Each structure stands twice: as structure tokens, then as C-alpha cells.
Structure 1
Amino acid sequence: MQTKTTINGLNQQQMMDTIGAIQGNPGLANFVFRARNRWISGGENRSTIRDFYGAGAEDSSRTQDFVYTNGEPPVLLGSNEGANPVEYLLHALAGCVTTTFVLHAAARGIEIQELFTELDGDIDLNGLLGLDESVNPGYQQIRMRLHVKADCSEQELDDLLSYTQARSPVCNTVCRPIPVQVTRA
């Protein structure tokens, strides 16, 4: 009889080793992620992501940049060069909640057969354009729906979803005010 070594595509032993290493040296949990962005023209700009600091050292495992083009649809004065930044925020939120959900499901021994997410968010351009100072320029509300098939009860899924929302770094960042410093170099 073989012992199962992965669940939801995650190596269980590696997961336990990582948790143990962080418990033994809490400083290993401190990460610094980086992005660099260059304006191209109009609403088009490009972000490059490669290096980060984590687990006590600079990471050198990435051999190529991840490049993301930010654009705008024509109705917002762009040419559809890429998704716009608020759409990337939805992508980041979906990705982080999905990964956090799968990770904690694996830690609980829950196997996920299927998982997909739908998101939509409301923005009032009066805030962005400065036409109404009472309107927040960001999302007014984001709705996220997870469609999950797993080998557990509905109550276990609800508990896992609540735990995921509280533990997802991007969800937690979006759901609470955090300091963001914007300065000139």
C-alpha cells in the first residue's frame, strides 16, 4: 500500500517541512515582493516581476521576468493593450484566494476535484476623475463566487472558505486599510 504524498497538487511533506522550518525560525516567514513598472504611452504601461526576498535570502530561482502589460479599453481612452490595473486586482484576488483555499484544504486533508471563481466589482469613475469628492475612486464592492467540488461536507467547505478569506494575503490587503507610500525617486 502506497502512502499518498500529494494532495491538490501540493507535496504534503514539503508543506510540513516548510511549516516546521518557519516555526523553528520565524524570520524565514518574512518576504519582500517587488514589481517595476514603466509607462509606455497613454494608458499603456508595463510591469516586470522577477526577484524577491524570502526564506532568509534573495531568491534566484526565476530565470526570466514575468511581464504584464496594463492597458485600458477604448471607452477609457486606451487601445486594449492589456487588462487594466483594476482587472489585474481581480486576477490577483482570485489567484490568491484560490491558492490559499487549495493550500488549507490540503492541510485539512480535503481533496478538491474542481474549483473555479467568478469575480466582478463596481467602480464609479466620478471618484477617479475627481468629479465627486464623496465618491471613492476604488472599487465600491467586489463580489467573488467560488464554485467548488470537494470530498467534504458543505459545512467543512463553508469553514474552509471563512478561514481562507481571513488568511489570503491579497484578500486581507484589499479588505483592510494598509499604508501605501507613494513618493518620487
Structure 2
Amino acid sequence: MLDTVKNAPVNGLDLEALGEVVEAIEKDSSKGIVGFDVVTRWKGQTRSETTVTGFDIGGERVERSHKIVADEPYELLGADTAPNPQELLMAAFNACITVGYVAGASLKGITLESLEIRTKGQLDLRGFLGLSDAVPPGYEHVDYEVVIKGDGSAADFEEIHQTVMKTSPNYFNMSRPIKLNGTLSVG
């Protein structure tokens, strides 16, 4: 599919460069191993700042510099200076699947006019506050709606949708339990 659409970016994506990445990973699977890490520091009250300094891909470190700020709204004892962790979780999910829809459309030669993902979740604070062991502290389900418009057919967009649900890292992460290996250092 990549060979049929060369040199012309679709939806801003360089398909030739994507093809080169895919080819390199097919030749050497270690080139496809990507590791991400972040450090989060408490900044007072309910505010935290997370620093992104880089990631590893194919055994090489790529330096980056980004800061992600989180806070709680006033009603949850914060200063409302930034999105809260639940909003950031949904934003990370939406951003990840957005990449999938854009890439999927681009690979099919579909020019997108618009793409919007609306995500909602409801949790019960009794679980978070430890008021009831019968109440989970997080979401039991999250609902999302993808609103997409472009020069593809409904069948094209359904195929892209199915592919995104099959291949998106954050769809995978949020739809299945992840083993968390936590340690505590006091000092």
C-alpha cells in the first residue's frame, strides 16, 4: 500500500518516511522496541509536574524536553491550574487513537477534513476516598465517540476504526489490565 502513494504527504504524514520505518523494523525487530519514562514531582497542594526527558527506540536514546502539569479543580481541593490526572488519562487515550485514525486514513490516501474524539468517564469518589470497599476507585467503563469526516467511504472509516482498536497502544492499555510493578523508597 505504501508503494502506491510516494512523496506526497497525506494529512501531514510523510508516507515514504513511514514506509522506511516499517521496513527497518521488518528487517530488525529490535528497531521497533520503544521505551518511555517520565518523572513526576509534587509541587504543593494537588499540583504535580511531570518531566519528559526522552525515550528509547531501537536501543538508542532520543532526547526530548517536555513538561506536563496536573492539578485538581477547586472542588477536589486543588487550585485548578491544569487538567487533573483523569482528564490527562483521557487526553492521552484520545491523542494516541488520533494518531491511529490519521495514519490509517493517510495510508488509504484519504484526506481528512476533521477528526474529533469525545471521551467520558464517571467514577465514584467513595472508592478513591476509601469510604467503601465495594466501590472501585476508578472507572468501570469509559465511553468515547469518534467523529471523522473526509473523502473516504463509511466502509473505509469502519476499517480504520477496527484497525485502531486492534493496534493502538493506549486502546490496548486502557482496555486490558496492565501489571504494575511498584516499589517504595523512603528517604
- With normalisation by structure 1, the TM-score equals 0.92
Structure 1 residue 8, shift from structure 2 partner:
1.3
The alignment partner of 1:67 has SS state of: strand
Give the alignment's Cα RMSD to 1 decimal.
Answer: 1.3
CA distance in 1, matches of 2:123, 2:162: 25
Distance 1:59 1:4 in 2: 26
Is 2:48 the counterpart of 1:45? yes
Query: What residue is the counterpart of 2:3 in the other structure?
Result: none
Q: Which amino acid aligns with 2:156?
A: E
| Match in the other structure for 2:26 | 23
Give me the whole-angstrom Cα distance separating, in 1, the residues matched to 2:131 and 2:123: 14
Q: Equivalent residue for 1:124? A: 124
Q: 1:58 to 1:4 in 2, by over 3 A?
A: closer
Could you list the runs of 5+ residues in structure 1 that have no partner in the other structure? none
Distance 2:137 2:79 in 1: 22
* Runs of 4+ deviating beyond 3 Å: none
SS in 2 for 1:10: coil
Q: Is the 8 A contact 2:7 2:16 kept in 1?
A: no
Match of 2:38 in 1: 35
Give the Cα separation in 2 of the matches to 1:127 and 1:30: 36
Structure 1 distance, partners of 2:85, 2:53, is 19
Identity percentage of aligned residues: 27
1:4 offset after TM fit, Å? 5.1
Q: Distance in 2 between matches of 1:127 and 1:57?
A: 41
One-letter identity of the residue aligned with 1:35: V
Q: In the alignment, what sits opposite 1:138?
A: 138
Deviation at 1:56, TM superposition (A): 2.7
The count of aligned residue pairs is 180
Q: For the residues of structure 1 that align with 2:95 and 2:53, how far apart are their CA atoms? A: 18
Which amino acid in structure 2 is aligned with residue 71 of structure 1?
D
CA distance in 2 between partners of 1:148 and 1:57 (Å): 36
Structure 1 residue 40 displacement after superposition: 1.3
Task: Flag structure 2 segments of 5+ consecutive residues without an equivalent.
Answer: 1-5
Secondary structure of 2:141's counterpart equals strand
Matches for 1:32-181 after TM superposition, within 5 Å: 32-60=35-63, 62=64, 65-181=65-181
Aligned equivalents of 1:155, 1:51: Cα separation in 2 = 38
8 Å contact from structure 1 (residues 126, 137) kept in 2? yes
